[in-house]
Amino acid sequence: MLEREAFRLAELKQRAHLFRAVAQEHGLAMRGDQDSPIASLVVGDSNACMLLSQRLLASGIHVQPIVYPAVGMKSARLRFFITRDHSEEQFRATMPVLAREVSLLPALGQ
């Protein structure tokens, strides 16, 4: 299928680049290969990461927390899985909420 419909991979890469660009506009540094549809925002503390994931879910944003022992003790992260079905509008709606919630982490006891 990928050989017949190579446009699918190109569209996915475009979405990954757009996701990272919108994140950067909001001061969020996503880790991972620029072409990859998997992007991580390192939070550090596992408890803060879990809390952040829960707060985002309450706002309608579903993102997986990856915590110790899957990653190092101080390397907890939110892992985003981008698909061709995600839209620019979704990215633009998500990033301000994510940036706000990240900014609240010190006040939440990180």
Which CATH number do you get for residue 66? 3.90.1150.10
Spell out where the chain has E strands: 38-44, 64-66, 76-81
> In the chain, how many domains are there?
1
Q: For 8-30, how does the pLDDT look when each residue is reduced to its tens digit (9 = 90+)?
A: 999 999 999 999 999 999 999 99
Residue 1 lies in a domain: no
List, in sequence order, every residue forming a beta bridge with 86; answer none if it has no partner.
none
* Three-class secondary structure of residue 64 per DSSP: strand
Please indicate, yes or no, if residue 28 is contained in any of the structural domains: yes
Q: Give the mean pLDDT of 61-87.
A: 95
Q: Which domain holds residue 32?
A: 7-108
Percent of the chain having pLDDT more than 90? 87
43 residue type, one letter: V
Residues 102 and 28 sit within 8 Å (Cβ to Cβ): yes
CB atoms within 10 A of CB 11: 14
Q: Cβ(39)–Cβ(30) under 8 Å?
A: yes
> pTM for the whole thing?
0.89
Encode pLDDT of 34-52 as tens digits. Answer: 999 999 999 999 999 999 9
